[in-house]
């Protein structure tokens, strides 16, 4: 009895065992999963970068807003005060004003003019700065409703304290319905004789 002959298949054509095919497919599936995850991570990173850039822009805008709030607001009153002090300094070069005195005079004039604008209901305001005999005299008069008082802790009271600390004089006269007169005298250190010219 003859045994049927069997022919061997070429080695390269032998399909891999089922277990190997499953393992290879599992690896491919795992690589696909990792690729999808990497794309998701890359997309998230792009979103994070865009968010970071947006936050950077917002931060710059916030810093700009804070700087604007911190900077003094230019008002008509502050401008007039600076002009008056500048005229006094220019007209009396022999009596130079130090930085602290200049700042104090400017603050006095600005606060006085602000009070007139906000509370006095005045139709006319006169401002005067005069340098004489080593003193600088400042006055602000308005024809408003009067009744102004120096309230402890408020702006005029703080200015009064600053003037007193220099050895100067601060007074305010404000009868009801007769307007308000604020006068200040500050000592000035300088060389030479003082001028006697009003700045109005």
How far is Cα 184 from Cα 140, in angstroms, rounded to an integer?
A: 9
CA distance 112 to 143: 13
- Look at residue 39 and give its three-state secondary structure: helix
Q: Are strands 135-142 and 169-173 parallel, antiparallel or unpaired?
A: unpaired
CB-based contact 102:162 (threshold 8 Å): no
Reported as a pLDDT band with limits 50, 70 and 90, residue 140 is very high
For the chain, give the longest Cα–Cα distance: 149
Q: Are 180 and 195 in contact (CB under 8 A)?
A: no
pLDDT at 101: 87
Report whether pLDDT(5) > 60. no
pLDDT of 62 above 60 = yes
DSSP-derived secondary structure letter, 56: H
State residue 57's pLDDT score.
76
Task: Determine contact, residues 199/84, Cβ cutoff 8 Å.
Answer: yes
Alpha helices (H) along 92-130: 99-115
Helix axes 99-115, 76-91, angle to 10 degrees: 140
Task: Report residue 116 as tokens.
Answer: 């007139």
pLDDT band at 111 (very low <50, low <70, confident <90, very high): very high
Q: What pLDDT is recorded for position 163?
A: 95
Architecture category of domain 76-199 in CATH: 2-Layer Sandwich (3.30)
């Amino acid at each position: 009895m003859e045994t049927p002959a069997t022919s061997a298949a070429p080695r390269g054509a032998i399909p891999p065992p089922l277990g190997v095919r499953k393992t290879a497919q599992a690896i491919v599936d795992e690589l696909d999963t990792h690729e999808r995850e990497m794309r998701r991570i890359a997309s998230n990173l792009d979103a994070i970068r865009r968010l970071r850039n947006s936050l950077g822009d917002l931060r710059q805008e916030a810093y700009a807003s804070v700087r604007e709030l911190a900077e003094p607001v230019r008002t008509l009153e502050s401008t007039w005060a600076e002009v008056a002090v500048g005229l006094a300094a220019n007209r009396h070069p022999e009596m130079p004003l130090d930085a602290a005195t200049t700042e104090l005079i400017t603050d006095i004039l600005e606060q006085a003019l602000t009070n007139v604008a906000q509370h006095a209901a005045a139709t006319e305001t006169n401002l005067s700065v005069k340098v004489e005999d080593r003193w600088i005299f400042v006055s602000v008069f308005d024809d408003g409703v009067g009744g102004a008082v120096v309230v402890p802790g408020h702006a005029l009271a703080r200015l009064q304290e600053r003037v007193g600390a220099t050895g100067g004089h601060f007074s305010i006269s404000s009868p009801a319905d007769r307007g308000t007169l604020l006068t200040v005298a500050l000592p000035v250190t300088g060389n030479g004789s003082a001028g006697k010219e009003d700045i109005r």
